[in-house]
Amino acid sequence: MVASSLVKAVPVEPEGEGETLPRLSRTQFWACWATVVALFFFDTGPIWRHPWDMGAFNDAVLWSYVPIPLLVGGCLLGSRRLSLRAFFLDTLEITLLKYAVTFAAALVLWGVTPAPKAPPPVRAVHVEQPAAAAPAIVPTRIDPAQTGSLGGVVVDEQGRPAAGALVFVASGLSGYVFAPPREPVTIGEGEQGVTPSLAVAVAGQRVLSRSTDGRLHTAIGDQGGEALFNVPLLRSGDPTELPLRQALGLITLSCNAHRGEAPGRLLVLSHPFFTRAGADGRFQLRGVPAGHLRLAALREGAGPDEAIPAGAPIDLAPGGTDEVQLTAGR
């Protein structure tokens, strides 16, 4: 009878009641959240400087989400609280909170920042043209107040001035259309190989190649192992126009008629913002449209290479002047 009374007097707690799931501390949680939010705003340059650059914007979004599980897992492991349930809940909570804040910030930026002006519409006029005539190029109108200047110095791998290096805007101007120069680019082929060893042209600009030694040559344009064109060059030295109409980037020029001739490189850009560095390695580019750009440099006579160097990212403000130091690629 006494034993029965004792059993009734002892309360029994429900199984699991009072247990707390070990998760991130408040400091760890907000540190992880602040880190990924900062990545969103600054990873591709201050996001408010180029909210309408969808490529840079998407990169900022991607690289702000990728580290979340790594940060959560690392913090839980370091504090000996790692469990599948805690990892899932903390990752989900930080992801949702980060999404809410950054999406709201993006809406504000898109609301207060005017969208880039589209090129003015062109009224179609019927003009009788030969069937082979290329369509007219309508350049984008660029407000001078929305441009800036880029300058600095180019050096080689040893830090010495890279005199004569080709400096150019490698990316950031794809939304603009530029009229090609009227003067053609002339390239020679002879016993000494392709000259100059590094040439540059704008898409739509005429590129002429000619024999310089009275022999028959071929002008072969190659990119990534794929032949883009193969045209003969006459012994007479009369120029032959190369079939280039698009911004192809960097291509290799060579001749398969004679062995041992040095190949060359041709850089075909969509814009005219390129220049050669002076004897002291310094350069200047003016009237460049403001925005998130990448500046790169190549040395002449350093051997054929189809890879454009990484260069330097630049956030050029309207009316601004940016000074950079570049290492010229091979």
Of 93, 112, 131, which residue is a domain's last?
A: 112
- The answer to whether position 319 is within a domain reads yes
Whether 106 and 158 map to the same domain: the answer is no
Whether 97 and 161 map to the same domain: the answer is no
Whether 80 and 163 map to the same domain: the answer is no
Residue 317's pLDDT is 93
CATH number at residue 165: 2.60.40.1120
User: Which residue in this structure is represented by tokens 């560095």?
Assistant: 277
Per-residue model confidence as pLDDT tens digits over 112-127: 877 666 545 545 444 4
Where in the sequence is the domain holding 316, given as residue range(s)?
Answer: 144-205+244-251+262-327
Whether 196 and 81 map to the same domain: the answer is no
Whether 88 and 174 map to the same domain: the answer is no
Which CA distances in Å does 76 have to 29, 35, 114, 187, 224? 10, 16, 43, 63, 46
Helical H segments across the chain, by residue range: 2-9, 26-42, 54-65, 67-78, 84-112
Whether 172 and 273 map to the same domain: the answer is yes
Shortest CA distance to 48 belongs to which of 328, 315, 327, 329? 315
- The answer to whether position 40 is within a domain reads yes
Cα separation, 309 vs 157, in Å, equals 13
The two tokens of residue 29 are: 């949680």
Whether 168 and 107 map to the same domain: the answer is no
The two tokens of residue 186 are: 């002339």
- The answer to whether position 283 is within a domain reads yes
Whether 46 and 194 map to the same domain: the answer is no
Of 112, 133, 165, which residue is a domain's last?
A: 112
- The answer to whether position 129 is within a domain reads no
Of 112, 132, 162, which residue is a domain's last?
A: 112
Residue 278's pLDDT is 93
Whether 51 and 180 map to the same domain: the answer is no
The number of distinct structural domains making up the chain is: 2
pLDDT averaged over consecutive 10-residue blocks of the chain (330 residues)?
A: 44 50 85 87 78 76 86 86 86 88 83 66 49 68 92 90 91 90 92 90 92 89 87 90 87 83 90 94 94 90 63 90 84
Whether 108 and 153 map to the same domain: the answer is no
Whether 30 and 179 map to the same domain: the answer is no
Angle (CA) 324 202 261, round 5°: 95
- The answer to whether position 153 is within a domain reads yes
Shortest CA distance to 250 belongs to which of 312, 297, 182? 297
Whether 150 and 299 map to the same domain: the answer is yes
